[in-house]
Structure 1
Amino acid sequence: MTTTPTPDADVRAALDDASRVAGLTFNPESVLVDGHRAVRRRRATATALGVAVTAVVAAVAVQVGAGRTDPVPAAPPTASLTTPPAPPAPTGPLTGTTASDGIRQGKSFDLTATAQADGRVRETWTFYQGSTKVDAVTRTTAATAVGQVSLITPDQSGQAGVVYGYLVTGTVEGTVMVEVATAPGAHPGQGTFGSLHDAATGRVAGTLFLQELTGDPTAKDVIGVTWNRTTVSGTSVRWLADGAALRTERGTGDPQVAIVTVSPRTSVLLWRDGDRFSSGVRSGPLAVTDPGTLQVTTQPQRKGAAGREHDLAVGWVASTSVTLTSTDPADAFTVTYGASVDGRTPFVARSTNPDVKGKVTVTGGGETQTLTAWDPS
């Protein structure tokens, strides 16, 4: 698609810089929405991203990493996180469409989700190709609470390579972009987004998304979703949150997966498949290979992005804890652990300063690793 230069060119440039995933592009107009967030169509093209399909027909729920948080070492933090109030849960039926202002181009869908007397919800998904209705699926399933997602798979929609879903956020500030994560293989594709509304209040309650995939991923390739929430003011983009959820339906031989909740602002998705491991939507050639009992890598953040998370070290250890030391005395970390998976403990070490300055040594599981690459790719 050809883009004609407009006065919003600086905004588009800022949005491109704000993308934390190499190769990710999206329609800037979709994130210029402030307050009312009128339903808009947004296209996202991902390179080596986990935009994927699952062959399991079921709802997908958040699986939050449980565990403890340890300061390492005991140094006064130079930055702090505030705990925002939990967003209110929607009170009425949820409705939405990915059609842009009612104009249908390419694939789109409409959704209605209505609470039932037994606490479950009745979902009606209506699929379109252009202006033509292709099919509809109605099902009754567990309620999708705030922070959860629900998916329709190709098996249920009858559309190969396409996954439909919605994420419930409650009424929150900013615009939410969703990625579907796969492991260990990468399945790039493109996505369309729209607003999910609470019919009782008229307020935005979440995000609708569909992902068209390449590579024909299998059910076990799909490990969950990640998302980020941002606001735009003039030419400035501010990051508000980074979240994640796991697909709860896992089978024998599937990659090991976990979510570590660092704070109300940040949750990190981690996975491992034998010697290979990574976090977020990094997969395929972006995964790391390490056969040892301590698997750790960096998750650096884009420099200069307002509201961005601090530098992180993420990984798995065949014990219950890790320690981190740095050649720079100003560096300090807080380590958060998730629930153990098959004898491995997932962890996220968050720098108390925005940027790590020194060479960091990580010890755990009887091994030691040195981390030096803290610049985002």
Structure 2
Amino acid sequence: MTGILALVLFAARAQVANDNIENRRLLRAEEIITSTTTGCTVQRGCVDERLTGKCIEYHNDQWFEFRPPATGMYYVNIGGQHCRDVRGVQLVVLTGTPCEPATYRVLSCTSLGTQDDLFVALPNLQAGQPYLLDVDGYLKDFCGFKLQVSRQARGVPAVLAPAVPATIPATSRIIELAWEVPDSLATALYCRVLRREQHQFRAVEIRREPITRDTYGQRRATYALTDTLPGVGQYIYQIMAESDDPATPPTILKQLGVAYSQLRPSMPGTVAAGAAFLDLPLTNYPRNAYLTFIVTNPQNGNRLRTVSLTNQAAEARKARLYAQPWLDAGLRQVAVDVTCRPAHGLAYTDHLLLPLSAPAY
């Protein structure tokens, strides 16, 4: 029995065969494959983060190769994600000689930041040319996922989500949404409205609004919706125009980040006593360094927030995090892992334990 258990544990943790680039998996058009980033490592000599800038940090990547059977538009569809954290996977698509970064040309770099089903558009791929796909767990996330390169897009477009406002959260659960459908989307039949709280794995569709015409046959251009937030938190809205034609991918019309709290300001322009914030220690690090802060619950390791910024005055406001929900949950301190990439010199990491306290007013 012990031997069987050890074998099962080994299989669960074993690396996929394409962990190394020389064993990259060949993808056929329309084929759907299942894989996982768990147990994967990084061949540092085969990647160069200078090519992708702030888009990606390599932790547990794996490699694929795709050769289009015909020239044209293709979509990388990523779905069925099941991850340890919320962040999902990240994807780099490039050309060049495998494991020779000096020859690489990056076509697309996407950090998904969600476990929604998503697609990345790759226009004008050339028939027979090899394209390399590198999939990695975003910010050390471990994920199982499905991957496909197809002529048809599936899911929602992989675009950067809007930032939740750094100001004091609203005290009303009522959110007013308004958007327009341009004439260029003549085949669109309806708009989908998605909402996701930042700790949720996937977005929820809250409305499917038909695109209508007036009595003169003209398409209605403007739409509005009133939504009620289900509870305290930080939310992302996405509004997309879609059709029933599988050859026409969805188009994002609007994205919006909002925050809601039950704390009420004592007077306009002030914050009620007990509103807690966490100020990340920017002064500990060189100016113009690129910093990534991963805030976790020190009791169980659960991730609470991830913030990436360049250490300069224009981005300093990102370093003040609204922390009242953490304080309300009983936390009095949080663990913070910091990765610092100076403008000159080698990257390094710090592991901090920072207190939470309500400011005095």
Bigger relative CO (Cα 8 Å, ≥ 6 apart): 1
TM-score by length of 2: 0.26
